[in-house]
């Protein structure tokens, strides 16, 4: 069973068309294969009266916003898959089948569909091309981190275990982004289904377009306080769009100074404008190829977009809404920047100091046993993204192939394992592990940005695949060269104790806490407590 959830607030003009399309899905039988749930979010028009004759389920609630309405529908849903669309959308006849087909892959927990429109207005056609330009980029990605609820689906168990949509965004349009970003942080896989189309009525005037973009910018600023890594990249927004906002800000800042200091101000404005148009040129070329008439308004629309988003972001950062978020309050934007700067400096200094030690240890490794000097293994990084971790080899060559036979000897519970007196460890390996010298090459991972000096330890991918939703919280930040586990028992801790230490570290994050952990690491290494 699939549950289709539609929040509706004063939607009498469009809900009939939406329901007609939903009840005519090809290859699916209503009531047997799927149900439709209309959540009437405090409507004052005939929304409920339009839905009642269609035989769909209706939930009524006081007006609380689309996030709360969708969550109410999800809680009462009978299906194992939750599909979402909006009351002003008319899904295509194959929408539900295309949207849910990717769930045949058990790793997929979320799917994003696509917009289409039949509107003739130039502004509406520009909006459609704006989406299509983004879709052209997303089609080539094996996974995404951005799902909009106009055409979306989630596994119900994952959706509910993560609290659904954040109702702190009561009447905004970013609560759907926030949920998908939150799931991506835990390393869940989400994909784009371009054929899962819904037809929509886009903005038809410049005023409506600017108001919507300003609102997105305002609420996104609030969201970025909690998920700061999405300030600079996500799978939906082209990097050029962020640069456009910056260039627009330079142009606006130059204008007041043109009458006072024309020589520096005028060239600054013109240079920023030329770069802006150059960066926008791929999108403008895309518009020319798809719908040449829209090109007449496109340059103005692109400038207006950058301005509306920029002013919305500015207001959101200076005057944030007085609400709370379910987002994990660890490492705000400026703290994240400082932490990365410290990592770069620490990574460089660490490599310079440890270089001679690594060279001597490498020679000793190859004299002690056959095999390479370095050990490389793919581990789960931030948001579960795989990266190659470097260590000095401490085990016999081919140790990975021997692990399955040794797992019954593990002394700790949970997905991780610890094998006492591990027979795969070499004589030189025991010495390197005793003094944690095998970890020194990871300064390179820190310098590359795959790891941080301090954070949860990077885990092996097969172990991460066994994580529960709760355990996936440790994937929300970059793994660390050292961390709370290293200074509180190391490999002697069972998995649950490790996890609790790491989650406490995330919830109470501060730069001073990082400094304390780094200092404690030296004493932990000297004492040798918890060496694996």
Query: Distance between CA atoms of 12 and 15, rounded to whole angstroms?
Result: 6
Residue 331 has pLDDT above 80, yes or no: no
Q: Which of 54-58, 166-170, 242-246, 454-458 has the lowest mean pLDDT?
A: 166-170
* Integer angstrom CA distances of residue 405 from 25, 26, 422, 425: 51, 50, 12, 15
Sign of CA dihedral 191, 194, 196, 201: positive
Query: Distance between CA atoms of 441 and 425, rounded to whole angstroms?
Result: 18
Collapsing DSSP states into helix, strand and coil, what is residue 167?
Answer: coil
Residue 489 has pLDDT above 70, yes or no: no
pLDDT band of residue 429 (cuts 50, 70, 90) is confident
- Using the 8-state DSSP alphabet, how is residue 174 labeled? -
Residue 417 has pLDDT above 60, yes or no: no
Angle of helix 122-138 relative to helix 298-318, nearest 10 degrees? 70
Contact yes or no for 429/395 (Cβ under 8 A): yes
Residues present in the chain in total: 532
The contacts of residue 363 (CB under 8 Å, 6+ apart) are none
DSSP-derived pairing of the beta strands 374-380 and 459-460: antiparallel
Average of per-residue pLDDT values in the chain: 87
Query: Distance between CA atoms of 179 and 86, rounded to whole angstroms?
Result: 17
Contact yes or no for 83/3 (Cβ under 8 A): yes
Query: Distance between CA atoms of 227 and 249, rounded to whole angstroms?
Result: 23
Q: Which domains does the chain have, with CATH numbers?
A: 2-318 (3.90.550.10), 333-527 (no CATH)
Angle of helix 122-138 relative to helix 262-290, nearest 10 degrees? 80
Which pLDDT tens digit goes with each residue over 2-46? Answer: 999 999 999 999 999 999 999 999 989 988 999 999 999 999 999
- Among 223, 211, 225, 202, residue whose Cα is nearest residue 311: 211
Owner of token pair 């004492």: 527
**For position 405, what pLDDT does the model report?**
53
Report which of residues 313 and 496 the model is more confident about.
313
Q: Beta partners for 193?
A: none
Query: Distance between CA atoms of 405 and 401, rounded to whole angstroms?
Result: 9
**For position 176, what pLDDT does the model report?**
87
Query: Distance between CA atoms of 189 and 109, rounded to whole angstroms?
Result: 6
CA angle, corner 453, sides to 451 and 455, nearest 5? Answer: 75
Contact yes or no for 80/115 (Cβ under 8 A): no
**For position 83, what pLDDT does the model report?**
97
Query: Distance between CA atoms of 105 and 338, rounded to whole angstroms?
Result: 39
**For position 95, what pLDDT does the model report?**
97
Contact yes or no for 465/457 (Cβ under 8 A): no
* Integer angstrom CA distances of residue 172 from 129, 211, 221, 517: 23, 12, 12, 39
Residue 178 has pLDDT above 80, yes or no: yes
Query: Distance between CA atoms of 175 and 147, rounded to whole angstroms?
Result: 10
Contact yes or no for 120/41 (Cβ under 8 A): no
Instruction: Compute CA 218 distance to the chain's CA centroid, rounded to the nearest angstrom.
Output: 19
Query: Distance between CA atoms of 522 and 520, rounded to whole angstroms?
Result: 5
The reported pTM is: 0.75
pLDDT band of residue 425 (cuts 50, 70, 90) is confident
Average pLDDT over residues 330-356: 85
Please state, as a whole number, how many other Cβ atoms lie within 10 Å of the Cβ of residue 31.
10
Which pLDDT tens digit goes with each residue over 287-309? Answer: 999 999 999 999 999 999 999 99
* Integer angstrom CA distances of residue 194 from 96, 113, 131: 12, 6, 11
Please state, as a whole number, how many other Cβ atoms lie within 10 Å of the Cβ of residue 173.
17
Q: What are the structure tokens assigned to 64, written together?
A: 């609380």
DSSP code per residue over 198-235: EEE----SHHHHHHHHHHHHHHHHHHHTTSGGGGT--S
- Among 182, 149, 14, residue whose Cα is nearest residue 71: 149
- Using the 8-state DSSP alphabet, how is residue 82 labeled? E
Report which of residues 237 and 286 the model is more confident about.
286
């Amino acid at each position: 069973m699939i549950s289709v959830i539609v929040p509706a607030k004063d939607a009498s003009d469009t809900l009939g068309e939406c329901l007609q399309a939903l009840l005519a899905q090809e290859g699916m039988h209503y009531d047997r294969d799927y149900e439709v749930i209309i959540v009437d979010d405090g409507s004052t028009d005939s929304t409920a009266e339009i839905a009642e004759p269609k035989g769909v389920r209706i939930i009524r609630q006081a007006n609380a916003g689309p996030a709360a309405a969708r969550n109410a529908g999800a809680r009462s849903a009978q299906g194992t898959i939750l599909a979402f669309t909006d009351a002003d959308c008319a899904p295509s006849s194959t929408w539900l089948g295309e949207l849910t087909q990717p769930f045949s892959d058990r790793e997929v927990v979320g799917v994003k569909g696509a917009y289409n429109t039949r509107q003739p207005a130039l502004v509406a056609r520009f909006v459609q091309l704006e989406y299509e330009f983004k879709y052209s980029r997303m089609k080539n990605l094996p996974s995404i981190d951005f799902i909009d609820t106009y055409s979306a689906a989630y596994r119900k168990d994952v959706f509910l275990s993560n609290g659904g949509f954040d109702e702190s965004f009561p009447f905004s349009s970013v609560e759907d982004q926030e949920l998908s970003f939150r799931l991506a942080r835990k390393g869940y896989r989400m994909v784009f289904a371009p054929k899962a189309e819904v037809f929509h009525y886009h903005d038809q005037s410049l005023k409506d377009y600017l108001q919507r973009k300003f609102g997105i910018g305002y609420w996104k600023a609030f969201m970025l306080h909690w998920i700061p890594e999405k300030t600079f990249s996500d799978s939906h927004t082209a990097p050029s769009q962020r640069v456009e906002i910056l260039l627009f800000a330079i142009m606006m800042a130059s204008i007041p100074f043109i009458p006072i200091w024309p020589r520096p101000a005028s060239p600054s404005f013109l240079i920023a404008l030329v770069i802006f148009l150059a960066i926008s040129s791929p999108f403008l070329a895309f518009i020319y190829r798809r719908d040449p008439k829209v090109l007449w308004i496109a340059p103005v629309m692109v400038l207006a977009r950058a301005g509306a988003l920029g002013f919305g972001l500015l207001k959101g950062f200076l005057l944030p809404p007085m609400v709370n978020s379910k987002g994990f309050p660890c490492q705000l934007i400026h703290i994240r920047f400082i932490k990365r700067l410290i990592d770069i400096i620490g990574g460089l200094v660490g490599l310079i100091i440890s270089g001679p030690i690594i060279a001597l240890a490498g020679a000793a490794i190859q004299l002690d046993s056959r095999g390479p000097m370095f050990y490389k293994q793919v581990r789960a990084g931030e948001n579960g993204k795989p990266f190659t971790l470097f260590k000095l080899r401490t085990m016999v060559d081919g140790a990975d192939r021997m692990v399955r036979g040794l797992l019954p000897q593990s002394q700790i519970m949970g997905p991780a394992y610890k094998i006492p007196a591990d027979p795969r460890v070499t004589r030189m390996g025991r010495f390197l592990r005793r003094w944690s010298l095998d970890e020194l090459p990871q300064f390179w991972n820190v310098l590359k940005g795959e790891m941080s000096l301090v954070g949860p330890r990077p885990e092996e991918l097969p172990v991460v695949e066994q994580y529960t939703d709760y355990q996936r919280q440790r994937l929300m930040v970059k793994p660390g060269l050292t961390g709370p586990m290293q200074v509180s028992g190391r490999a002697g801790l069972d998995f649950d104790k490790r996890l609790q230490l790491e989650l406490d570290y995330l919830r109470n994050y501060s730069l001073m806490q990082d400094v304390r952990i780094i200092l404690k690491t030296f004493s932990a290494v000297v004492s040798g407590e918890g060496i694996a």
